[in-house]
Amino acid sequence: MSQKLDEIDRKIIEALQKDARTPFTEIGKELGISDATVHFRVKKMIKAGAIKKYTVVVDKGVYESQVFCYMLIKVKHGKIDEISKQLVAMERVNMVQEVHGSNDIVIKIGATNLEELRNTIAMIQENSNITTSEYLTILKTWKE
């Protein structure tokens, strides 16, 4: 975004991050501006790339996946892109990120139960281009 965000833009983004369904009239009322101004600024921020997308956060108890795990992966030299693309294509892999540090890739796996999680991890480990991996099973989420 070529133009910097001002305080009003930041407050609009904060309100939408809390709940993207918040009506522009409500946001405008909180900020002392019209809903038309909120609408205009949101459209401007979308066009400029400051707001990339709206998303949904689901209740994990209601949604299909109930067991989650982060997997830290180290791969053979030059294989990050190839492995990342394979991981992106996997149904149970919810997130794939290339990282800097002692690992190359971090993924988040969602499964309906521990057996499905174990099977997904085993399937990933079968890849001969993965040299090491470490798992962090999520026990409780404090903030998402």
| Position 53 in a domain | no
CATH number at residue 29: 1.10.10.10
Q: Are residues 40 and 101 in the same domain?
A: no
33: Cβ contacts below 8 Å, ≥ 6 apart: 8
* CA–CA separation, 126 and 123 (whole Å): 5
Question: pTM (2 decimals)?
Answer: 0.60
Overall number of domains in the chain: 2
Q: Return the percentage of the chain with pLDDT > 70, whole number.
A: 92
User: What's the token pair of residue 17?
Assistant: 């991050």
96-117 residue pLDDT tens: 999 999 999 999 999 989 999 9
Domain span at 30: 7-48
Task: Name the residue type at position 60.
Answer: K
Q: Are residues 24 and 77 in the same domain?
A: no
| Position 59 in a domain | no
Helix (H) or strand (E) holding 73: strand 67-75
| Position 143 in a domain | no
| Position 88 in a domain | yes
Q: Are residues 87 and 133 in the same domain?
A: yes
Q: Are residues 26 and 72 in the same domain?
A: no
How does residue 59 score in pLDDT terms, banded at 50, 70 and 90? low
CATH number at residue 94: 3.30.70.920
